[in-house]
Structure 1
Amino acid sequence: MSMRQTSDLSISVRPGREAVFPKGEFNRRIAALQSRLHEEGAEALLLTGPENIFWATGRQTAGYFAFQALVVPVEGAPRLLVRQLEETGARAATYLDRIETWQDGADPITVLARMVSEMGLSRLACERTGWFVSPDTRARMEAGLPVALTDGSGWVEDLRVVKSPLELDAIRRAAGYAQAGLGAAIATCGKRVSENDVAAAMMAAALSAGSEAMAMEPLVSSGPRSGIPHATWRRRTMRHGDAVFLELAASHDRYHAALMRSVWIGPPPAEVSRMMDTALRALEAALKMMRPGVPCAAVHEAAQAVIDDAGYSAAFRKRVGYSMGVAFAPDWGEGAILSLFTGVERLLEPGMVFHLPVTLRSYGAYTVGVSETVIVTETGAEPLSTLPRAMTLK
């Protein structure tokens, strides 16, 4: 198919028809990014990660496995490069005027090089810490682009951390879907029920409530399997004495909110009850610490102190929370952007969003835990679920 035919076919697609936000929201984001480029003395920034491209333009697709790139100049309009098959979706999801395509069988880096040359650039900042571009593609970019490549890692991520009112509304909606899914999962748990039955009920309820594609599969595990971090359903049938670990992140317009709860089949042992009580108190301590001006590390340390005092330091070997927002597989969180963890001194600001999963494990035996997705407000933290936090007994 010729480029002329491709353009003719695209005329029928109204720009922004499938956009998740109004044009003004994306104009504001591009302006903020261009302000950062000006501060850095950069001519342009090359984005390749699906989360960053979506944040800047609204571009989303299940086909992001194919190379795509957004070039944002310090002045003027951005230009997007996508696989030709993806052009219609890119025009529908964004308000961009300049969308270039590469055809199957062609080298997208060659097309990107031509695009960069047409823009008259001599230097191009890029995301060196991004997960999306393979080492081979990175090497071909460095060899094939007619510009000097510099490091622009973190520039978009710094802007993504504090959410706009429209983003917060999407996350609140996602939290409602996640609560519907967790509620259905808890109700389904019981003796002689399979993990698959619980996962099916969880996902059906979340999808029926409104959730779109999730950036990572839900976590459903029972019995000894629940003591394995990030294990998920595998046809196991629940029985008396089992722990059941449940965690889900639902999505609205690619914005995610996560939620975790614990179930025990039958009466739990005293040690399990004590661990669960510790997890609940640690979460509450972290939530009480969250307010603008507090370092991220202080939130983690508040929870860690509760856990350490109870003697469960070895059962909790991780950060207490991570940023939430835009997500594409393989991760439902923005944990690579900002964590609630020791040594992270960035101060909390209103509009930041975090998932706080407090899990205590007897590794290989069982896990108990509880979580909330919360918005940092002017005065504290707003949890986005109303689902009871205590362990459910079945």
Structure 2
Amino acid sequence: MTTTSSAVQTTGLPFPRTEYERRQQRVFEAMERANLDALFVTACGHVQYLVGYHGFGSYFMPFPLILVPGQKPTFVVREYSLSNVRLESCVEEIVTYREQFDFAPVCAAAVRRFGLRGRRIGLELGCWNLAPADVSALQAQLPDMEFADATRLVATEAAVKTEMELEAMRIAMEMTDVAVRTFQQSLREGITEAELAANIDREVEEAGGVVRAAWGTLLFGQRTKDSHGSPKQNPIRNNEPAFMELAGLKNGYACGLVRSAVLGRHAETEFLHDLSIEVLEAVISAIKPGATAGEVDAAGREVLKRHGRPEFLNHRVGYQTGINWVERGNISLEPGATDILEPNMTFHMPIILRGESGYLIGTSEHVVVTERGSEILSQTPHTLYRA
């Protein structure tokens, strides 16, 4: 086990240290309201939100950020990743372990140093990066502690963006819009998904951004029946649909967008797209401070009920965005959800409908909740593009 308390380099931080301190303070206040004496933050997006480190080193071992009100954060990480964590986080107190079997004993020792015997610890049980075996090991090492589910605690605080965060998201969306325009302008008979993806990456890079089209969804023709799919050597033919869902990136913040097109004519997907626009616009109209996530979802489903097509939508109408494209445990615009929308929350609403023949086509918008409604971030229309 290694502990470092010396000043850390912060050249990898996208925001000032004071911004991370502000975020941590908000979480400390939320912990007090939840009656938590300590919090283990393990979801990569939540860790990045609080200290800057992207968490990639934790792909097979948890890297918990231990938060205790009134104390400096302690980061428990794999020794192999220590140099990256020092460079890319604002944490001064770093404790290391080498192998999986060291994880729980080292975490327990870090907790005991805070004098928290018999206290209540929150775990992100509903997020990625914390396996049931990790939880069991922690409970075995800390039998006198009470563990509680704190899945939504950081997510709820991170939902409301600062102007710094919104600026990063606006820049990310500018790159997404470059990707959309390239997608539309590149469509011609015979071009493959992979070739179009390469065009997108090149144009976005020339614009000074990052989009990584190969990691997103880009599909032509019959492959638009797949719910997700990276670009392949699949050419588009005349009278076939095309579908993309990509996100520009800035400082870890992703702004995803769905756009669809038809080369020539394709009656079924054109009908689906017209319906998706109507659903999307109803969802956007329902977004405002004080509305619940469930009410927003219901507004979209009501459109499909009126058309007698409720089965066309088999997923939620949207989700909270920010660091990473999406994080498990964040606010979801789904049936019955009770989360209340606030100004400066951001959401992506992909309205993708499955038709009777299996085609998946739709559109989306990425919005910021404002004092009176919402602001659409994209500058590209959500109408169907016809090439």
The alignment's TM-score, normalised by the length of structure 2, stands at 0.91
Show CA shifts across 1:166-190 (max 9, x none): 1111111111111111221222222
Superposed displacement of residue 350, structure 1: 0.4
Aligned length: 383
Counterparts of 1:333 and 1:105, CA distance in 2: 27
- 1:249 and 2:247 equivalent? yes
Which contiguous aligned blocks of 4+ residues in structure 1 show a shift greater than 6 angstroms? 213-216
Q: Against the structure 1 CA distance between its residues 186 and 46, is the aligned structure 2 distance closer, same or farther, given a 3 Å change threshold?
A: same
State which of 265, 272, 279 in structure 2 corresponds to 1:275. 272
Moved more, 367-376 or 137-146: 137-146
- 1:219 and 2:214 equivalent? no
The letter for the 1-side match of 2:28 is: Q
2:350 maps to which residue? 357
Tell me if the contact between 2:352 and 2:360 (Cα under 8 Å) persists in the aligned partners: yes
The letter for the 2-side match of 1:195 is: E
Moved more, 227-236 or 27-36: 227-236
- 1:23 and 2:21 equivalent? no
Tell me if the contact between 2:241 and 2:269 (Cα under 8 Å) persists in the aligned partners: no
Q: Percent identity?
A: 26
Superposed displacement of residue 144, structure 1: 2.4
Q: Which runs of 5+ in 1 are unaligned?
A: none
Q: Which runs of 5+ in 2 are unaligned?
A: none
Superposed displacement of residue 61, structure 1: 4.5
Instruction: List aligned pairs for 1:85-96, cutoff 5 A.
Output: 85-96=80-91
The alignment's TM-score, normalised by the length of structure 1, stands at 0.89
The alignment yields a C-alpha RMSD, in angstroms, of 2.4
Counterparts of 1:349 and 1:216, CA distance in 2: 34
State which of 356, 369, 373 in structure 2 corresponds to 1:376. 369
2:293 maps to which residue? 296
Superposed displacement of residue 206, structure 1: 3.4
Tell me if the contact between 1:320 and 1:341 (Cα under 8 Å) persists in the aligned partners: yes
Superposed displacement of residue 217, structure 1: 2.0
Superposed displacement of residue 335, structure 1: 6.0
1:343 maps to which residue? 336
Q: Against the structure 1 CA distance between its residues 308 and 231, is the aligned structure 2 distance closer, same or farther, given a 3 Å change threshold?
A: farther
Superposed displacement of residue 369, structure 1: 0.9
2:56 maps to which residue? 62
Show CA shifts across 1:146-174 (max 9, x none): 65141133211121111121111111111
Tell me if the contact between 1:324 and 1:354 (Cα under 8 Å) persists in the aligned partners: yes
Superposed displacement of residue 86, structure 1: 1.8
Counterparts of 2:298 and 2:62, CA distance in 1: 41
Superposed displacement of residue 215, structure 1: 11
Tell me if the contact between 1:279 and 1:307 (Cα under 8 Å) persists in the aligned partners: no
Counterparts of 2:213 and 2:258, CA distance in 1: 16
Tell me if the contact between 2:126 and 2:328 (Cα under 8 Å) persists in the aligned partners: no
State which of 143, 156, 162 in structure 2 corresponds to 1:158. 156
Show CA shifts across 1:257-299 (max 9, x none): 1111111121232x43332222112212221222112222222
Q: Against the structure 1 CA distance between its residues 164 and 147, is the aligned structure 2 distance closer, same or farther, given a 3 Å change threshold?
A: farther
- 1:38 and 2:32 equivalent? yes
